[in-house]
Structure 1
Amino acid sequence: MARDKERILVVDDSPTNIAILNVLLRDAYQVITAGNGTDALALAASEEPDLILLDIMMPGMDGYEICDRLKANPFTREIPVIFVTAMDQERQEAKGLALGAVDYIAKPVSPPIVLARVRNQLELKRQRDMLRRLAAVDGLTGIANRRAFEEDLDREWRRVVRLKQPVTLFLADIDHFRAYNEAYGHLAGDDCLRHLAQALTKALMRPSDLLARYSGEQFVGLLPDTDATGAAIVGERLLAAVRNLALPHSHSDVAPIVTISIGAAQCRPNAQTDRAQLFKLAGDALYAAKKAGRNQIRIFEMPESVSAL
């Protein structure tokens, strides 16, 4: 979900320093603060700031260690870090840059320098984010590609495990798509995929739901905080969305229009749950849906004993 303002995490053990930076930044940015390393690491992971301003000299965990831990965590390593410090030795600056910091700001801070360097780093981050988004989009359908889905799955999986929520993974195949391509041509097949991607995206509704083109005519989706009953409701909505497109398919033995089959796997994961087993279960459910006549959803639930392995 887009933010009204970019978010900056200020980390400093001095309330005075935090107050100064907050006054400088709060009009243009959303500012969150931490007074120690433990809180800083927790906020970086949960709040996903766009930039971190990090003091070096702090009791307990110093700025170097915080930066090192941020860069070691796959969920925080892309957040740019600017050190804000009274230390002015080249060796210390070189150490911070080697750990992954993008810039230094000297104390006492100069307001124009702080604002200029923050602005520059956020602009660079926006450019990197745009390139990352382009790399994450399927060129044909405009929705997420397989690589992006797997990255988003990592992040969302961690969240549902932490919150002990149910989750449903689904696979959707276009029924008799090879026959469709042979009958109508590959350009029409491409148009079909684009129409389905748009229809499925609209049918999912919730911002937290994930959808991607996984391969060829197959789509994959993740429904957080969704049990088998909820998955059945969403699945029927997806099936109807495709049927409502009314794309002609005279070479299908299912219906005179394009339809899909859906296989879904539901579980309440924990830290030991094997996602590969969930994918396999969704694949088994998809096979069952096709065997039962296609144009339908089948939902398999992962046994608690398997989820707890």
Structure 2
Amino acid sequence: MLDSAFFPQNEVERLDALVACRLMDTEQDERFDRIAKLAKRIYGAELAYIAFIDAGFQWLKSTTRDAIPKVMPRECAICNYVVASGEPVVIGNVHTDPRLEGNPILDLITHRFYAGVPLIAGSDLVIGSLCVLGDEERDPASFDLEPLQELAAIAMDEVSFWQTIQELKRKSEIDALTGVSNRRHFDDALERATRRAHRTGHPVSLLLIDLDHFKGLNDLAGHRAGDEALRRLGALLASAVSRPDDVVARYGGDEFAILLPDTTLDGAHRVGEGIRKKLLNEKIPHPTRQMVTISSGVACHVGSAMNSELLVSHADQALYSAKRAGRNAVFQGVYA
């Protein structure tokens, strides 16, 4: 069985490169499907797939048929040998290869032959593999890897193109006033976080944040003062998170949202409480209050229980509880 500690020396850098691609947990894409289909046809294989491997899981971006699980623990993935070595891996018979002895994946597949080549980002950062599998045993020494490597290079061209498109899309998803993400980007990120939670079994937390007595600020101090408060809160929220998959968004009007994948309810509450205290230190003046404050509601769903609509609803309920209790508070909602 694969050693779970079998990681490349540049593991941190390659994970950063994978995150930067923003491909994990995205929907099916014909551009990648075509590459897998070509690999299957060229080699007369029973199965071809494009796999990406993060810290704990292998995830298939494209597969010619569902002969192996779309998601599996990294330690069970034959493709982990490709990632760990940075080199092509060809196995004549996976059921007799001593490296795979005891691997539970062998109970799920009838294929014998395996060949995989690395998907390389930058100079030597292997983020996944392009693989073909066959029902019959083959001689690794006589297998021609060149077409598979060429297709892998084309796959990485598609990854680069995908990144460019996502960056252009990202620029259209920034709220002009506050500089954080807009509602459209938040909705997309929430659906992606849902797919990720279902894949990994990890938690997803959400904070909904509302400026207290914002109407009074606008009516009495003017819209310019209201806009300035929104800008300063947006900047404060953006500085409060730093992980690539965390999302700060203007949810609507004076309401903001912070999406925190892989974060527990208590962890999200600490983030919210830290933001509340930092805003107090900003001492933004309010015409009827001493200063501008915020109320926040926190909710968390875990793994298969993650439901995007319910998560928002649960965080919203907690937000209104904070307001009813007197505002300037962070309330925890549902932990599902």
Q: Same fold (TM over 0.5)?
A: yes
How big is each residue's C-alpha offset from its partner over 1:65-110, in whole Å with a ceiling of 9 and x where there is no partner? Answer: x5888xxxxxxxxxxxxxxxxxxxxxxxxxxxxxxxxxxxxx988x
**Which of residues 34, 42, 60 is equivalent to 1:57?**
42
Q: Mind listing any 5+ residue stretches in structure 2 that lack a counterpart?
A: 1-11, 50-61, 66-144
Task: Please tell me whether residue 299 in structure 1 is matched to residue 332 in structure 2.
Answer: yes
Task: Please tell me whether residue 211 in structure 1 is matched to residue 248 in structure 2.
Answer: yes
Task: Please tell me whether residue 226 in structure 1 is matched to residue 226 in structure 2.
Answer: no
CA RMSD of aligned residues (A): 3.9
1:100 aligns to what?
A: none
1:276 aligns to what?
A: 309
Residues in 2 aligned to 1:179 and 1:234: alpha-carbon distance in whole angstroms = 27
How big is each residue's C-alpha offset from its partner over 1:256-284, in whole Å with a ceiling of 9 and x where there is no partner? Answer: 1111000111232415x433222222111
Q: Which moved more, 1:129-138 or 1:262-271?
A: 262-271
Contact 2:25 2:196 in 1 (8 A): no
2:298 aligns to what?
A: 264
1:243 aligns to what?
A: 280
Contact 1:286 1:297 in 2 (8 A): yes
Contact 2:25 2:192 in 1 (8 A): no
Contact 2:315 2:334 in 1 (8 A): no
Counterpart residue identity of residue 235, structure 1: G
- How far does residue 166 in structure 1 lie from its aligned partner after superposition? 2.6
Task: Please tell me whether residue 155 in structure 1 is matched to residue 192 in structure 2.
Answer: yes
- How far does residue 245 in structure 1 lie from its aligned partner after superposition? 1.5
Contact 1:210 1:222 in 2 (8 A): yes
Contact 1:249 1:258 in 2 (8 A): yes
**Which of residues 307, 319, 328 is equivalent to 1:286?**
319
- How far does residue 182 in structure 1 lie from its aligned partner after superposition? 1.3
How big is each residue's C-alpha offset from its partner over 1:39-59, in whole Å with a ceiling of 9 and x where there is no partner? Answer: xxxxx74799xx966534231
Residues in 1 aligned to 2:322 and 2:16: alpha-carbon distance in whole angstroms = 45
Residues in 2 aligned to 1:293 and 1:243: alpha-carbon distance in whole angstroms = 16
2:204 aligns to what?
A: 167
Residues in 2 aligned to 1:163 and 1:224: alpha-carbon distance in whole angstroms = 11
Name the SS of the counterpart of 2:184 in structure 1.
helix
Contact 2:191 2:308 in 1 (8 A): no
* TM-score normalized by the length of structure 1: 0.60
* TM-score normalized by the length of structure 2: 0.56
Q: Which moved more, 1:119-128 or 1:144-153?
A: 119-128
Name the SS of the counterpart of 1:173 in structure 2.
strand
- Identity percentage over the alignment? 35
1:178 aligns to what?
A: 215
How big is each residue's C-alpha offset from its partner over 1:119-139, in whole Å with a ceiling of 9 and x where there is no partner? Answer: 986775454233201122112
Query: What is the total number of aligned residue pairs between the two structures?
Result: 223
Name the SS of the counterpart of 1:298 in structure 2.
strand
Contact 2:216 2:287 in 1 (8 A): no
Contact 1:167 1:222 in 2 (8 A): yes
Contact 1:200 1:241 in 2 (8 A): no
- How far does residue 204 in structure 1 lie from its aligned partner after superposition? 2.7
Alignment of 1:84-95 (within 5 A): none
Alignment of 1:5-154 (within 5 A): 45=24, 55=39, 56-58=41-43, 59-61=45-47, 125=162, 127-154=164-191
2:231 aligns to what?
A: 194
Counterpart residue identity of residue 292, structure 2: V
Name the SS of the counterpart of 1:286 in structure 2.
helix
- How far does residue 237 in structure 1 lie from its aligned partner after superposition? 0.3
Runs of 4+ in structure 1 over 6 Å off: 1-7, 116-123
Name the SS of the counterpart of 1:144 in structure 2.
coil
- How far does residue 232 in structure 1 lie from its aligned partner after superposition? 2.4
Name the SS of the counterpart of 2:333 in structure 1.
strand
Name the SS of the counterpart of 1:265 in structure 2.
strand
Residues in 2 aligned to 1:294 and 1:268: alpha-carbon distance in whole angstroms = 28
